[in-house]
Structure 1
Amino acid sequence: MTAIMKYDELANLADDPREMFQEVAHALVAAGELHRLFDLRLLQERHRHGLPLDRRTPIDDVEEPLRSQVEAGYLAACREVGELLLESGRLREAWMYLRPAGDKFSIRKRLASAVLDDQRADELIELALFEGIDPERGYAWLLSRNGTCNSITTLDGMSQQLDAADVRACAGVLLRHVYRELHGNLRGHYNKLKGSPPPSESSVGQLIDQYPELLAGGNYHLDVSHLQSTVRYARLLTDSALVEKAYEISDYGSRLPTDLQYPGEAPFEDLFAAHRRWFGALLGRDVEEAIQYFETKARSEGDDPRSTAAVETLLILLLRLERADEALAAYRELVTKERELSTHAPTLLELARASGNWERYETICRERDDLLGYASGLLARHA
């Protein structure tokens, strides 16, 4: 700083604090001392409001309305320094300041143009995925760097921390990645058998339908646990093209030898075959059979409040098939007052809104003596 501005020149501005702060700020920016710039801005705020300059008075001890004014200055300083650090390419440092300011947009935009290389990979993945700035991009980077096994384990550990939209986005990334791997391995096997590659447009489903020899003799082409995790997460997806890929993976898995058919969790104990029914129904294939299958699973749960996965699965399937009135009827029959569903399941109010059957909704509320639910329905119905 001294090469840019002499200390005696700064002393001459002692009677003009505003100009002095501005000159010091210019000097710090020029020197790249942006963390010191943040300290300067906090000092400036304290001076402006007549607070002690040694920062021994916590902001929480400052009374309103002054506290709100000081906090606003603090956030403005965070944005200023964060943006300057972004411009310098110091993304991790920038996030230290942009996070309290609630500004994901600026750093998310910068991540979109970032190039993943050995030097910055850990930093970029940490920011995008683990800091939740752009989980979809971060998860794609993680897959490309660490592979499928590690990335599935990471998603399992993070899925409760991410919001539903971000988990769904990561599920899409995982599905496309695993589908490409399976597709590539099947094509490679075909080429080995036939001495030439299969038609370029052949999908996974077409390959296993048209060339059963690919699965002959207990052959498999990808770690089965990776396929299982992929279809499990794929249940979150609604895009028809992705659902089709999930169906093809499930169909492939259902054709594997019995000793590779590892059981899943209810109601997907027969993991690949059950998922094949699920995705097939969403694609308009054997819809009634799938509904009957999952309804049977839901009824077999009984009314055990600790076991709700099957009935939740049925409700979700019916709602996604745009059969909300049937879902509402199933809710009335299968979900007792004492049975609490998880946050993944549609609520009674959501089913009523989707079906438009407010009369049935109100009947259910009366049967359960649910005055709050009844009031919520009245508000939603007349909104």
Structure 2
Amino acid sequence: MSSPHDDPALTKLMERLTSEWTIHGPSATLENLARDLERMRTYRQALETLLLQARLELGLPAIIDEGGLGCDVPETTRAAYEQRYVAAVRRVGHAVLAAGDLVNAWPYFRLIGEPEPIREALEQDRWLASGSTTVVQDDDPAASDQREQHAEAQFNRLVEIALYEGAHPARGWQFILERHGLCAAITAFDQLPPDRKVRGRCAGLLAIRLREQLRGGLIHELERRGATIPDSARQVGAPLAPLWVGRPELFADDAYHIDLSHLAATVRLAPLSDDPQALSAAIDLADYGTKLAAPFQQSGDPPFEALYPDHALYLRGLLGDDPDAVERAIAWLEDRLPTPPPSSFIEALPAQALARLLIRHDRLLDAARLAATYLYGVPETALTVPTPAQLCLRAGPQGVALLVELARTHHDLPLLAAALALSNAPNHND
């Protein structure tokens, strides 16, 4: 095994270091050295060089005793050194990332609490290809297997960084969907953080993917039966209904064309999405579910006691292409609201669904009134919509007045104080 002592480039840098130190001085020499080490991808030494440069320029000891930023750094210099420390780590992190090594760049950005560069990089599709199991075949099967194992390990590490270590949970979940399929992605959905945007994005991707899988199953069955299928029905994103309308035989004898556990899970999650394309896909899936034989008609939590028909109605309301569909969904949910206040989390679910629908169509004051009546006291972690206070704030001056009333009704003194502060703010005193 070779060691750093065998590296001619490092040996040459060592020889230059002494002479340049005398000619150019410590600061310029260390800057040049750090740049060379970054170019050579010797990142740990590059970071140590930058930190040494910072210490010398700030009048600190060349080597700090135990504790890193500990007792050897005077209070008067500590803030300046911490800034240089963060800047050095950031610089090296960007150098590692620019070299295409996201996995080894992540520890640098995680150290300083700046996940944004990694988050942006993960949005690039090339990271999906980086874990590809397709390798160049050669005459050495052992080498080919080793490359494949390395690619798989790198891909799994990307998933860990993105999803489980929080760099970009939605993208990490999407990697699982793209690489390992629907079953693994549905299982991993519970690992997502309780962030409505993250979960909504992933639920939408799931609906879009499953619709195309269902399209393939329907087309396969129709072709087996000798049916003619128009090109328009084969296109990705096209509605599915033309494939089954007028063909009841597709559902005869308890037939189905997709994994029904995937169908039920995806339809349940679909209302989390705000993406019109995903909502359209979910409507197709719910409509398909209504065509299934009675043994496959599932029930769900309120207000979706009839899983597929109820979701089809609600999803059309969320999509909002048809104003009448919006009003039908609102009326349907209003009929399912319990006598206030709800006595359990389950009883509050129809109110959450209705609030989401109202928010979707910018009826914020109505949503705030609903939340004030039905959702006060529901733990924030159990909400799929903003809190009553947040909705009141979004609803403008009338919402703030509602917030005062809500706080007084529940003797919530901190909330009352916040409401009074808001009601006396200049933008609420017009």
Band the TM-score falls in, shorter-chain normalisation? 0.7 to 0.9
Cα deviation for residue 339 of structure 1 reads 5.1
The yes-or-no answer on 1:252 pairing with 2:288 is yes
Aligned to 2:428: 381
Q: 1:145 to 1:331 in 2, by over 3 A?
A: closer
Partner Cα distance (1:376, 1:218) in 2:
61
2:305 aligns to what SS in structure 1?
A: coil
Question: 2:81 aligns to what?
Answer: 70
Aligned residue among 344, 347, 359 for 1:319? 359
Q: Does 2:346 match 1:304?
A: no
> So what's the TM-score if we normalise by structure 2?
0.76
The alignment covers a number of residue pairs equal to 380
2:98 aligned with 1:80: no
The answer to whether the aligner puts 1:32 opposite 2:41 as a matched pair is yes
The C-alpha deviation readout for 1:61-90, integer Å capped at 9, x for no partner, is 445342221111111211221222223222
Measured at CA, do residues 32 and 364 of structure 1 come closer, stay the same or move farther in structure 2, by a change above 3 Å?
closer
**Aligned mates of 2:338, 2:291 — CA distance in 1:** 28
Which whole-Å CA distance do the structure 1 matches of 2:252 and 2:63 have between them? Answer: 78
Question: One-letter code of the match for 1:145?
Answer: R
The residue type paired with residue 291 of structure 1 is I
Look up the equivalent residue of 2:215 and give its one-letter code: H
- Comparing 35-44 with 318-327, greater Cα deviation is found at 318-327
| Length-normalised TM-score, structure 1 | 0.85
Across the aligned residues of Structure 1 and Structure 2, the Cα RMSD in angstroms comes to: 3.1
Q: 1:369 to 1:109 in 2, by over 3 A?
A: closer
> Secondary structure of 1:345's match?
coil
Gaps of 5+ in 2: 1-6, 134-150
The 5 Å alignment of 1:1-383 reads 3=9, 5=12, 7=14, 9-12=16-19, 16-49=25-58, 50-51=60-61, 53-59=63-69, 61=71, 62-111=73-122, 112=124, 114=126, 115-116=129-130, 117-118=132-133, 119=151, 120-160=154-194, 163-201=195-233, 203-282=239-318, 283=320, 284=322, 285-299=324-338, 303-307=342-346, 308-335=348-375, 340=379, 342-352=382-392, 353-354=394-395, 357-358=398-399, 359-370=401-412, 371-378=416-423, 379=425, 381-382=428-429
What is the Cα deviation at residue 154 of structure 1? 1.0
CA–CA separation in structure 1 for the residues paired with 2:329 and 2:100:
52
Q: Post-superposition shift, 1:263?
A: 2.8
Structure 1, unmatched stretches of 5+, are: none
Deviation at 1:148, TM superposition (A): 0.4
Superposed displacement of residue 269, structure 1:
3.1
Structure 1 residue 133, shift from structure 2 partner = 4.1
Segment of structure 1 superposing worse, 68-77 or 16-25: 16-25
Structure 1 pair 374/7, CA: closer, same or farther in 2 (3 Å)?
A: closer
Distance 1:47 1:373, change over 3 A: closer
Asked whether the 8 Å contact 2:314–2:329 carries over to 1, the reply is: yes
Tell me the distance in 1 between the aligned counterparts of 2:67 and 2:174.
Answer: 45
Equivalent residues of 1:172, 1:237 under 8 A apart: yes
Distance in 2 (CA, whole Å) between partners of 1:241 and 1:369 is 44
